[in-house]
Structure 1
Amino acid sequence: MEELSIVNLLLVLFAAWIGGITAKRMGFPSILGELLIGIVLGPAILGILNTSEALNILAEIGILFLMAYIGMEINFKDLGKASWAGLLAAIGGFVVPFALGYYTILAFGGTEIAGLFVGIAVGVTSLATKSRILVDLKLLDTRIAYVLMAGALISDTLALIIFAGIIGFVDAGSIDALGLGWVAAKAILFFAFSGLTGVYLFPLIGKLLTKIKLTGRTAHFSIMVIIVLGFAELAELAGLHGILGAFMGGLFIRDGVFSRPVLKEVTGVFHDISIGFLAPIFFVTAGFHVTLEVFQTDLALLVLIIIGAVVGKILGTALFYLPSGYGWREGLTIGTGMNGRGAVEIIIAGIGLQMNIISQEIFSILVFMAISTTLTVPVLLTWTTNWLRKRGELVKQDARRGYLVLGANPLGLYISKQLAQQSEVTLIDSNKDHVNEAQAQGLKAIYGNALKEEAFETADALSKHTFIALTGNSEINLLSAQLAYNSFYIPNRIVLMSPVENGAGPNLLNHIEASSLFANKTDMAAWSYKISAGDFEEKEEKVDKEMTPRDWVKKNSKDKEVLPILILDGHGVKRPFHYNDTIKPGERVIYIQ
């Protein structure tokens, strides 16, 4: 094997970094920029960079780590949030473009195996493509977001299963019944062994590591690398591809098998090594194999594949989505979101090229198809979601419910009791007397340190929709809100900011995407004293015109000391009064003075 050229590796990584960061700043996934810069700097255009045997090995390791990371990121609970609708979207968004891609290749004289490979590549969707745009469009708490996530995961898993069958068929080299039976038997044995190992053996390994106090990040990372590479080799022995094994290994490295803090750190390491180092080598070098001659020799095929990918994905999703009962407009919207392609599609296409199943021209067509369809996602998804929003058909998802409140002080208890009339509320406090008082008032309260994940786990934070940090210490409030988001993905964080700075200013609220409770700096101790002494009066004010909570505070706190607690909407539903909200006409503000 030729020696690794450090200069060549450095140039490829630098090119990947430039391309990736440029794409991300434009709102697209980094792999799009990595592919494009590989095409520009590779043999197709400038010819500055070239691949090598050593780079190919690093790229192959990169896709194994990337597939393991994709497996780690899949949470079966997320699939359950929109299982039926997500399944319909996944089937429609995969089967229709798959069929169009397959028959298009056959119509142009391609082989059936090549048609199947193209069909898979056209049928997959990219989860990474959507994550940024979902945040930008504020869709993370909508049904569309959950269906998109579920649909993408199911679609990619389905693609990998079909891919496994094709690889096994190619490996068998014949179509007789005995050969196909042996291929199927090996695949079934592999998936059965992987499932049993992941479900029953991995938890025992996790318990053993805890028992012998081997809880360091380095040790866990080494063990997980062994698991991923071991599963990849098992897949190869079963006549499948190593990416299937890496994916299955990552799928079962999950919370509950290894401790949450260590798992979070190790998952981060896998992310950095795969997405930050090895996988970009694969995507940049994949661009080296693209030829621009397809625009002259195979332009008709290129155009038809792109049209089939876009139309098949959007219309197929909308058509199969109809039985969900959520309407064809929501189906079209989900189809536009699922139209982007990404890592899995390029990996499958690259393997097809490597195995001589598809030609360099077809590989180039699939790369350009991935780029062009991904570019449509921000534009089309923005248009269709705005369409739904204007029609009042953008449905919020109730997969997460209830409030998690930090601070069982009198002010925290006062707000929690009102919210608990309509929603589940759980309080956390490190003061046992406060916890006992909350429980005496019929509230669910947990004794613990809110800066440690154990307290959040006890409070079932993964099921909560909103986190409210309501202590007198702004720094603790901000840190706990950051923990609530980073480790438990609580979508809404509302933080009380004290007028006395504790090293944490309100400018940090934007950094952690949190909102200021009461839309103003508030002295928690002073209001808690008023509430405990009964020295206050609760009032309501109806709002006649739309305004921000901050404007309401400015309007009503000129001549009197008031504290807006809640907003009561037209249906009688209460929600916390905070900065990042809008008070609509007819709604009421509940406040104390």
Structure 2
Amino acid sequence: MSYLVQLVLILVLTKLGAHLSNTLNFPSVIGELLVGVLAGPAVLHLLTPTSFTHYFAEIGVIVLMFIGLILSATSVSITVQVLKEMNHMNTREGAIILGAAVADDIMCVILLGICVSLFGTGAAAQSQSVGALALPKILFFILMLVLGKWFVPYFLRFFDKLNASENVATAALILCFGFAALAVSLGMSDVLGAYFAGLAISETSFKEKLALKIEPIGYAVFIPVFFVSIGLNITFKGMQHDLLFIGLLIIIAIIGKQFGGALGAHLFGLNLNEANIVGAGMVSRGEMALVVANVALSAHLIDQNHYTAMIVVTVITTLIAPLVLKLFIQRAQKEHSEIKQSRTKIDEVKS
């Protein structure tokens, strides 16, 4: 099958899968991911992993991480949809969820980059001193800080003055891929470089303008191929031996995020219902978990069975999270309504 036929199949099937998923009130990413599983070697054998899908998916994950901070936190895109639907976006809980999710994503990407550089394929941890290993990483973070604060705004303003079409969008993509290449050259993951490029641009006045330009480029072609490629790499062979592991991982994933998020929110003054909303809002793993699993597999940090287990856990928690969040929001709204009615009755009695 030629790469053009593969691309046509992927684009058609992902849009149909996303449509069906959205119709059933599930996130579109679930439909796109399941397209890869069903059409791939695990089920129908319509599509197989090739060098074309590999490189397209690599660009897709880089662009996904890049636009993550320009648009919103990648790990809570599903949570944001629920908050908007339940008219709970502009609340204290909503602000805490978004802020915590951004911090969560940043720490996740940094830790992922460090793990890949130290323990992944090609890491020379066995033959290098601690200083030789640490120096490039320290240099990387210094460069990200300096370039992000001073170079990126100047670079965007310079391109904005050029007499050519789509100057700023091109400049943003240059920064995205340039930062990714710089990260790789210093022994870090390319997604970490792309993420820092997005972080730097999100602090400039070009953020809103670029969000409208870059998002269609990513979600029209490259990002759907990335999600499908994840499904193509899934195998159910030997999965029966990992069912206990998957079950425990799901329980830990949900309870850990729910309890940890709720406890932290409660310690900062939120009541029990509000704290539970924050905890439920942090449960969804979303796109970030898919990125972590993909990078970990590519760097041989995990094997194929654990990769499949991580994807299954991500899908299940992503499906469960909106339901749990809606439950806690409805409970909070009901309690708020009852308190309001009680106060109204008390005022009527007093009057």
> TM-score of the superposition, structure 1-length normalised?
0.54
1:213-228 equivalent positions in 2, closer than 5 A: 213-214=161-162, 218-228=166-176
Distance in 2 between residues matched to 1:180 and 1:25, nearest whole Å:
53
- Provide the C-alpha distance between the structure 1 equivalents of 2:82 and 2:185, rounded to a whole number of angstroms: 40
1:146 to 83, 95, 108: 95
SS across alignment from 2:236: coil
Q: Does 1:134 align with 2:132?
A: no
Distance 1:289 1:208, change over 3 A: closer
Q: Which of 38, 53, 56 in structure 2 is aligned with 1:55?
A: 53
Distance 2:117 2:162 in 1: 39
1:286 CA displacement: 0.8
Q: Does 1:238 align with 2:238?
A: no
Shift of 1:328: 3.4
Aligned to 1:338: 282
- Secondary structure of the 1:126 match is helix
Per the alignment, residue 27 of structure 2 pairs with: 29
Deviation per CA, 1:233-281, whole angstroms, max 9, x where unpaired?
11001110111111111111136454xxxx5343222111212210110
Please tell me whether residue 180 in structure 1 is matched to residue 178 in structure 2: no
Which residue in 2 is equivalent to 1:43?
Answer: 41
In structure 2, do the counterparts of structure 1 residues 351 and 288 end up closer, same or farther at CA, with 3 Å as the change threshold?
same
Contact 2:180–2:190 (CA under 8 A) maintained in structure 1:
yes
Cα distance in structure 1, aligned partners of 2:69 and 2:84: 22
Q: 1:23 to 1:221 in 2, by over 3 A?
A: same
Alignment of 1:407-418 (within 5 A): none
* Equivalent residue runs for 1:147-546 within 5 Å: 147-170=96-119, 171-174=122-125, 179-209=129-159, 213-214=161-162, 218-254=166-202, 256-258=204-206, 263-392=207-336
The answer to whether the 8 A contact 2:93-2:275 is kept is no
State the percentage of identical aligned residues: 27
Once the two structures are superposed, the pairs formed by residues 84-95 of structure 1 within 5 Å of their partners are none
Q: What displacement does 1:25 show?
A: 2.5
Contact kept? 1:319, 1:328, Cα under 8 Å: no
Using a 3 Å threshold, how does the CA distance of structure 1 residues 181 and 21 change in structure 2: closer, same or farther? farther
Task: For residue 44 of structure 2, give the secondary structure of its aligned residue in structure 1.
Answer: coil
Asked if 2 retains the 8 angstrom alpha-carbon contact of 1:294 and 1:364, the reply is no
Aligned in 2, Cα 1:376/1:188: closer, same or farther, shift over 3 Å?
same
DSSP-derived class of the 1:312 partner: helix
Structure 1 138/6 Cα, relative in aligned 2: closer, same or farther at 3 Å? same
Give the 3 Å change call, closer, same or farther, for CA 318–173 of structure 1 in structure 2. Answer: same
- 1:393, 1:151 → 2: CA distance? 28
How far does the alpha carbon of each residue in 1:550-574 deviate from its partner, in whole angstroms, 9 at most, with x for none?
Answer: xxxxxxxxxxxxxxxxxxxx9xxxx
User: Would you say 1:68 and 2:66 are equivalent positions?
Assistant: yes
8 Å contact from structure 1 (residues 61, 278) kept in 2? yes
Alpha-carbon distance in structure 1 between the residues aligned to 2:86 and 2:238: 36
Q: State the secondary structure of the residue aligned to 1:385.
A: helix
Q: 1:117-174: per-residue Cα shift (whole Å, max 9, x none)? A: xxxxxxxx82211121111111111111111111111111111111121112125433
With over 3 angstroms needed to count, the CA separation of the structure-2 counterparts of 1:266 and 1:141, relative to structure 1, is closer
Q: Which has the higher strand share?
A: 1
C-alpha distance in 1 between matches for 2:39 and 2:178? 35
Report the equivalent of 2:6: 8
Measured at CA, do residues 298 and 6 of structure 1 come closer, stay the same or move farther in structure 2, by a change above 3 Å? same
Contact 2:78 2:322 in 1 (8 A): no
Distance, in Å, in 1 between the alignment partners of 2:131 and 2:78 is 38
* In structure 2, distance between residues paired with 1:188 and 1:225: 25
For the residues of structure 2 that align with 1:256 and 1:153, how far apart are their CA atoms? Answer: 17
SS of alignment partner, residue 202 of structure 2:
coil
Q: Distance in 2 between the 1:184 and 1:68 partners? A: 25
CA distance in 1, matches of 2:20, 2:60: 21
Q: 1:362 to 1:30 in 2, by over 3 A?
A: same
Q: Is the 8 A contact 1:232 1:246 kept in 2?
A: yes
Distance in 2 between the 1:37 and 1:314 partners? 29
Shift of 1:393: 9.2
Structure 1 residue 217: Cα displacement: 5.2
3-state SS of paired residue (1:298): helix
What stretches of structure 2 of length at least 5 have no aligned partner? none
The Cα offsets for residues 277-298 of structure 1, whole Å up to 9 and x where unpaired, read as: 1011011121011122354121
| Letter matched to residue 160 of structure 1 | V
Structure-2 residue corresponding to 1:112? none
Deviations 1:90-133 (A, max 9, x none): xxxxxxxxxxxxxxxxxxxxxxxxxxxxxxxxxxx822111211
1:335–1:248 CA distance, 2 compared to 1 (3 A): same
Q: Does the residue aligned with 1:392 lie in a helix, a strand or coil?
A: helix
Whether the aligned pair in 2 keeps the contact of 1:35 and 1:283 (CA below 8 Å) is yes
- Whether the 8 Å CA contact 1:64–1:243 is kept in 2: the answer is yes
CA contact (8 A) 1:165 1:184 kept: no
Contact kept in structure 1, 2:153 and 2:201, CA below 8 Å: no
Q: Tell me, which stretches of 5 or more residues in structure 1 are unaligned? A: 76-124, 395-544, 546-569, 571-584, 587-593
Say if 2:159 and 2:167, in contact at 8 Å, map to a contact too.
no
From the CA coordinates, give the structure whose radius of gyration is larger.
1
Q: How many residues align structurally?
A: 340
Alpha-carbon distance between aligned partners in 2 of 1:372 and 1:294, rounded to the nearest angstrom = 19
- Could you tell me the TM-score, scaled by structure 2's length? 0.89
8 Å contact from structure 1 (residues 333, 385) kept in 2: yes
Return the structure number with greater relative CO, CA threshold 8 A, min gap 6.
Answer: 2
